[in-house]
Structure 1
Amino acid sequence: MEELNTPIADWLSGLGWSPVQIEWTTRTLLLAGVVLLSWLAAKLFRCLIAPALQRLSQRTKAMWDNYLFNDRMMRSMARLIPPIIWYMLLGAVLYDMPVALDLARKVCLIYLIVAVLMLLSAFLDTLHEISTQHESLRNRPLKGIYQMIKLLAFCVGAILIVSILIGRDATTILAGLGASAAVLMLIFRDSILGLVAGVQLSANDMLRPGDWITMQKYGADGFVTEVTLTTVKIQNFDKTITTIPPYALVSDSFQNWRGMREAGGRRIKRSLFIDASTVRFCTADELESLRRKGLLETEPATDGQPVVNLSVFRNYIRRCMKRNPGIHPDLMQMVRMLQPTSEGLPLEVYCFTRTTEWTAYEALQSEIFDHLLAVLPEFGLRLYQRPSGEDLRALREKMEINH
């Protein structure tokens, strides 16, 4: 550096400058030269090297390199150039000022650590984008894991910065932090629990973004929109947002409707409460009338016993389910009679629809039971219904007329 200082000092001396002015001017010019060199190197990287890498990545068939060399990653890489050049060349400029040189190098190291952390953050964000595009990783809750890696990296970076500022080894600081581990665990309790829960949710494939889950304890009933380190966001069907800590999904019970979608059928499980007093044997004329109306195809086998109208109605429901194009033919279909109650005789219809979409499912279910309610009187059956005030009023008026 003295070879460079001498020509500058001789030139300034020829201008009649004093030795003090010459010294500070020479040092200032050299510092400006270092700053200019670092700026030119960063500019060269951004304008020449980065575009060349991006063009090269676009020519490949793989998609991951397009994300790896995106603008955000290139800007983060360019930030590493100035502190590296400053750290290498400042020693030649401030060679006779050890205190200033030590301070300048500490600033360069801190700048470099911050730039590395920003590069790591951009790299993890890029990994998250790549994983969302990958078919096998798209529905994995990996965002929380990336956030935990960021948190650990920033903690390590903060320890390194503190060690640089106080001039002590980072391992000494870590040893000191070990004594306050309980305090740190209390501070980062949610983050630690969230990381463990995120790993369990991902490893056991318990939850994915886009799943429809129900968790009555937290009032959640909707689709998972985001899984992070500390929260799981669920958009309910009323468009409200419910946030649940990830560890609550592991420690408590929740219902995931993904299996219903993957099976390709949504269950119908609804009962008609038949008035038990209307269940009786069918006469030959009634059977013939049902046959003419297309409500009875083959008379049920009863081993010579009279045919019960409820049995004919159950067979009719089975035929309707088999003929309905909206009912899934490969999944269970059943019509069963449950334990009689004080509310009537439950006749349960159990089957699965071909669609899992909510609106279409409800429409199909309504059409099925609309038809069953309308055709029920044709079999001589009646639904059980508690008497209302209007029924009691009509009965009273009838009694008064008769009297």
Structure 2
Amino acid sequence: MISKFFYNLYREQFSFSHETAVYLNLVSNLLTTFIFGYILFKLLRFLGRKLLRNVAKRTKTPFDDILIKNRVFLNITRVIMMFIFYASLKPLLGEFPGLLKYIDRLVSVIITFFVIWFIRSLLLSIKDFLREFSSFKDKPLESYVQIFMVLLWLISVIVAFSLLTGKSLIKFLTALGAFSAVLLLIFKDTILGFVASIQISINDTVRLNDWITMEKYSADGNVVEINLASVIVRNFDNTITSIPTYSLVSDSFKNWRAMSNSDGRRIKRSILIKVNSIRFVREDEISEFKKIKLLSNYVEQISNEINNYNHKHNIDKSLLINGRNLTNFGLFRKYLDEYIQQHPHINQSLLFMTRQLEPTPNGIPLEIYAFSKNKVWIDYERIMADIFDHILASVSYFDLEIFENPSGKDISKLKN
């Protein structure tokens, strides 16, 4: 009806020739179709969005809200409008079969890509909806969406070329098989990332919000995103590090999740004691050590045991080296055992000990091995610092010395 209306208008009112009237009729019909299509598109979009928002307000599920956020209805409206436009091509361009052929192909390609965009928005909505469930919050869903979209875009490009050239889809797929080696090279990182994402998910090596350390990439922080190409880590200084996804399979890294889920965070630190400051405790010093509250019972018990042993075996104690003896280093270790045991921030249900390590050129390492109840980084560091502040201040009460390299000031004193 519209086609005849404009044609008759140009022929009767403006007295144009048949050929001119036909071309002007074509332009008028296309403009009219575009205008009415645009109005219909806006109307459908407005009504659909309003309807969807009303439904979203009345339902408890967040899925409809997610559909709105990812513009699913907008994309499906575009697809519907393009199908309507495609259906109107033959009536509009029936008199121009050559032009109809090429416009038909072009519109088919546009419809293909609009369908892809709709599928993409739907997949993103499904991904966001799954994130609402605790079982999916730490899974690399982005990787699966991305690999599906890569395959979908690859197929759509093949279909688009087939539509534009008018060649059979089978021929393109055959050519693609011959081109597969080049495609494998082009999409090497994508394929590796996809395989790595599956392995990460199945083996549960990394989750979102896990704290990981990977020295190769200077990464030390929480995982904020896992996608097909990279794993994004927000470091503790708020810098961002991007790690190739497949590196989490091929290279070594440290995941602190087990520590976060455990009952304590490990404290494993040592101090160096000068060897020449270690000695036997004299009899007249025992009473002083008994004044230390954490040692009083132990010193009382062990000194009686040593005296009984030495007396029983007639040990000559004119020399301290004879028989059994207490050492200032041994008493210090026992003191630290008692100190760690009564510390309110140390988890007593986990292993804790004070141990002497192998002597070094810089002294004998005395290591504290225990687990802090509080696993928060700031609190953990504060607790550990408080413990070693106390240890460093306690050394002098046992007549021990801590090794440290001489400073320039120490050397200048020697010269003077």
**TM-score, normalising length: structure 1:** 0.88
Q: CA deviation at 1:84?
A: 0.3
The 1-side partners of 2:329 and 2:8 are apart by 117
2:395 aligned to 353, 363, 376, which one?
Answer: 376
1:144 and 1:229 in contact (8 A); partners too: yes
Matched, 1:216 2:221: no
Verify the 8 A CA contact 2:76 2:118 in the aligned structure 1: yes
1:259 aligns with 2:258: yes
- The aligned counterpart of 1:358 is 377
Q: Distance in 1 between matches of 2:194 and 2:159?
A: 24
**Contact 2:272-2:362 at 8 Å conserved across structures:** yes
CA distance in 1, matches of 2:228, 2:256: 23
Give 1:259 shift: 1.5
Residue 216 to residue 63, structure 1, CA distance change in 2 (3 Å) = same
Aligned position for 2:344: 325
Mark the CA change 1:99 to 1:374 in structure 2 (over 3 Å): closer, same or farther: same
2:15 equivalent in structure 1: 17
Distance 2:209 2:130 in 1: 15
**Counterpart for residue 139 of structure 2:** 140
Pick which of 65-74 and 6-15 moved more: 6-15
The aligned counterpart of 2:42 is 43
Residues 286 and 39 of structure 1: is their aligned pair in 2 closer, same or farther, counting only changes over 3 Å? same
SS in 1 for 2:252: coil
The range that moved more, 274-283 or 201-210, is 274-283
- Partners of 1:210 and 1:229 lie apart in 2 by 17
Q: CA deviation at 1:163?
A: 0.4
Q: Could you list the per-position Cα deviations for residues 153-188 of structure 1 after superposition, in whole angstroms to 9, with x for gaps in the alignment?
A: 111111111001100122210111111111111111
Partner deviation per Cα, 1:119-140 (whole Å, 9 max, x = no partner): 1222233234334433222222
Structure 1 residues 273 and 25: alpha-carbon distance in aligned structure 2, compared to 1, 3 A threshold: closer
Q: Which residue of 2 aligns with 1:400?
A: none
- Measure how far apart 1:32 and its partner are: 4.0
Amino acid of the structure 1 residue aligned with 2:91? A
Task: Give the letter aligned to residue 96 of structure 2.
Answer: M
Q: State which of 328, 341, 353 in structure 2 corresponds to 1:334.
A: 353
Deviation at 1:232, TM superposition (A): 2.2
Cα distance change on mapping 1:7 and 1:190 into 2, 3 Å: closer
Q: Give 5+ residue unaligned stretches, structure 2.
A: 307-323
C-alpha distance in 1 between matches for 2:379 and 2:365: 26
SS in 1 for 2:95: coil
More divergent stretch after superposition (122-131 vs 332-341): 122-131
Aligned AA for 2:198?
A: V
Name the SS of the counterpart of 2:296 in structure 1: coil
1:46 Cα deviation from its structure 2 partner: 0.9
- In structure 2, relative to structure 1, the CA distance for the partners of 1:10 and 1:322 (3 Å cut) is same
The runs of 5 or more residues in structure 1 that have no matched partner are: 398-403
The answer to whether the 8 A contact 2:294-2:339 is kept is: no
2:294–2:338 Cα contact (<8 Å) kept: no
Looking at structure 2, the residues matched to 10 and 234 of structure 1 have their Cα atoms a distance apart, in angstroms, of: 69
Opposite residue 383 of structure 1, the aligned amino acid is I
Aligned to 2:290: 291
Paired residues of 1:194 and 1:246 also in contact (CA < 8 A): yes
**Residue aligned with 1:250, SS:** helix
Tell me the C-alpha RMSD between the 2 structures.
2.6
Q: Which residue of 1 aligns with 2:120?
A: 121
Select between 118-127 and 250-259 the one with higher mean Cα deviation: 118-127
Contact 2:158–2:172 at 8 Å: present in 1 too? yes
Return closer, same or farther for 1:12/1:184 CA change in 2, 3 Å cut-off: closer
User: Cα offset for 1:234?
Assistant: 2.6
Q: Secondary structure at the match of 1:144?
A: helix
% identical aligned pairs: 34
Q: Which residue of 2 aligns with 1:401?
A: none
Deviation string, structure 1 residues 240-290 (Cα, Å, up to 9, x no partner): 433221112101111111211111422111112223333334345433322
Q: Comparing 119-128 with 298-307, which one deviates more in the overlay?
A: 298-307
Contact 1:38 1:81 in 2 (8 A): no
Contact kept, 8 Å, 1:160 with 1:170, in 2: the verdict is: yes
Q: 1:393 to 1:68 in 2, by over 3 A?
A: closer
Q: Which residue of 1 aligns with 2:271?
A: 272
Distance 1:379 1:114 in 2: 80
Distance 1:381 1:87, change over 3 A: same
DSSP 3-state at the match of 1:242 = strand
- What residue is the counterpart of 2:59 in the other structure? 60
The Cα of 1:364 is off from its aligned counterpart by 1.5
Residues 167/396 of structure 1: CA separation in 2 closer, same or farther (3 Å cut) = closer
CA distance in 1, matches of 2:112, 2:177: 23
Residue identity matched to 1:275? K
2:85 maps to 86
Q: Does 1:177 align with 2:176?
A: yes
Name the TM-score, length of structure 2 as normaliser.
0.85
Deviates more, 1:303-312 or 1:8-17: 8-17
Distance in 2 (CA, whole Å) between partners of 1:388 and 1:236 is: 35
Other-structure match for 1:150: 149
Match of 1:246 in 2: 245
Give the AA of the match of 1:377: S
1:198-230 CA-partner distances (Å, limit 9, x unpaired): 111122121223222222223322333332222
Secondary structure (helix, strand or coil) at the match of 1:267 reads: strand
